Every structure is written in C-alpha cells, then in structure tokens.
C-alpha cells in the first residue's frame, strides 16, 4: 500500500471569515477526524496534497499528516475521505481526512483496470464494462491501487462476475458475487437469430427502389410530353 507524508497547519479559529482567510492564502481548509478523537481543523497546501497523491493508489494513498498543536508534534496516518469542489473553478474548497486504525478494516472504492483486448472483440464483438470500480473492505495496509482484470481470453457471450475477481488475501468485495463486471456481447446487427432488423432494412430497400422506378417513369413521361408538344408547335 502506497503511503506519503503531508504537512498541515492547525487552524485555531473556525468560521466563515477564518475559512476565507485560509483560501486567500492559497490553502484549503480541512478537518481531521477519527474514533474517540476530537476533530482537528487544518489548513492544507493543495499543491503538496496533489504531489502526495501521485502514487499508484491515487486518492486511496495513506497519508501521514504531520502538524504541530500547542507545541506538540503529531503524526496521524489518515485517508482522504471527501473533497468538496468549487462548481465553477473545480478547485478543492474543503477536505475531510479520516484517522485510520491500522488493525481495523475500512471501506474504500477501488478502480477496476482491464488488461488486454478480448478475443471476442477481434471477432466483431462489443466489450461492455458494467463496473469501473468496486467497493471493498480490508485493512488499511492491504488497500490495492486497483483491481487488474485480464480480459484477453474473453469470447463473445463470456462474462466475468464479482466472484471471479482475484482481490487478494483479506480483501472482501461489498457487492453481490453474481454481479457482472464485464462482458463481451454480439452486436444486434450481427445477431443471426434476430432477423427483424434485416427484414426491415430489406423492406426499406425495396420501397426505395419502387420509388426510384416511379420517379424515373415520371421523368420519362414528362420528357415524352415535352417532345410531343414541341412537334405540335413545329
């Protein structure tokens, strides 16, 4: 499990004016909370946070928050639990960090990464990704960066379910095990068992040909009429 160090400053005052001051300084107001621990108001440098999260685990990186409060230095291993974003600038405006108990399981969402190109796709099938991430429960040190899934051998009609995932020891998926993660399906246009679309296309083609023939017949009739008119004038 990836872990980074992140320095923080304690905010002695709270309220709108203090929060605005933190943001004017270019920092982000944050809160650090945990079981049986009084919450701590913090100020975080967004650039340092972005750098700390540059690991294979991304937002699930374990963060060692270092801060000083009333002359005492603290180090708290935590996880970034929530990021509130400005709807216009998309900049973070508030952060929530949870202190972790390393011997207690936590719930996190992990991205699912597909590897390879399915054999069925090479034959004209379509890859359907039903889940792009999965909620799991595990100890903090066991949080994987992602769940890698090899789909190379999948043929048309094949599916991979939650129960088929190799999550690793001590990791539990918090979804029904028969839920589909990914599948390879045959396009409707290639489904020989359903001829409805083909019949409709054929009917449209025949109707188009009849209209074209009728149009040509009309043009010929108009041409003959014009020719006869010219002969009468002559």
pLDDT tens figures, 78-99: 999 999 999 999 999 999 999 9
pTM for this prediction? 0.73
CA distance 92 to 72: 28
What is the pLDDT confidence band of residue 216, given thresholds at 50, 70 and 90? Answer: low
What is the pLDDT confidence band of residue 189, given thresholds at 50, 70 and 90? Answer: low
Going from the N-terminus, what domains does the chain have, and what CATH number goes with each?
3-100 (2.40.240.10), 107-190 (2.170.120.20)
Smallest Cα–Cα separation from 28: which of 14, 13, 49, 54?
A: 49
What is the pLDDT confidence band of residue 208, given thresholds at 50, 70 and 90? Answer: low
Q: Are strands 37-44 and 72-85 parallel, antiparallel or unpaired?
A: unpaired
Strand order in the sheet with 133-138: 147-150, 106-115, 133-138, 172-173
Q: What is the pLDDT of residues 94-112, one digit of tens each?
A: 999 999 999 999 999 999 9
Question: Which residues are paired to 133 by β-bridges?
Answer: 111
Q: How far apart are the first and last CA of the chain?
A: 98
pLDDT at residue 172 tops 50: yes
């Amino acid at each position: 499990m990836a872990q980074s160090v992140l320095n923080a400053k304690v905010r002695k005052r709270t309220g709108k004016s203090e929060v605005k001051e933190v943001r004017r300084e270019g920092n982000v107001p944050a809160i650090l909370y945990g079981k049986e621990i009084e919450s701590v108001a913090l100020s975080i440098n967004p650039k340092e946070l972005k750098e700390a999260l540059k690991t294979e685990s991304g937002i699930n990186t374990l963060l060692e928050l270092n801060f000083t409060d009333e002359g005492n230095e603290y180090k708290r291993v935590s996880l970034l639990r929530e990021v509130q974003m400005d709807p216009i600038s998309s900049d973070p405006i508030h952060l929530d960090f949870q202190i972790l108990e390393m011997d207690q399981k936590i719930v996190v969402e992990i991205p699912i990464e597909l590897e390879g190109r399915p054999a069925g796709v090479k034959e004209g099938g379509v890859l359907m990704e039903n889940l792009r991430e999965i909620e799991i429960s595990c100890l903090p040190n066991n949080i994987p960066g992602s769940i890698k899934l090899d789909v190379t051998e999948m043929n048309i009609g094949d599916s991979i379910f939650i129960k088929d995932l190799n999550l690793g020891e001590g990791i539990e998926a918090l979804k029904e095990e028969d839920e589909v993660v990914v599948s390879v399906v045959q396009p409707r246009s290639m489904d020989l068992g359903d001829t409805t679309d083909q019949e409709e296309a054929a009917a449209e083609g025949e109707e188009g040909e009849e209209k074209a023939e009728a149009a040509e017949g009309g043009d010929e009739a108009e041409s003959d009429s014009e020719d006869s008119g010219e002969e009468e004038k002559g």
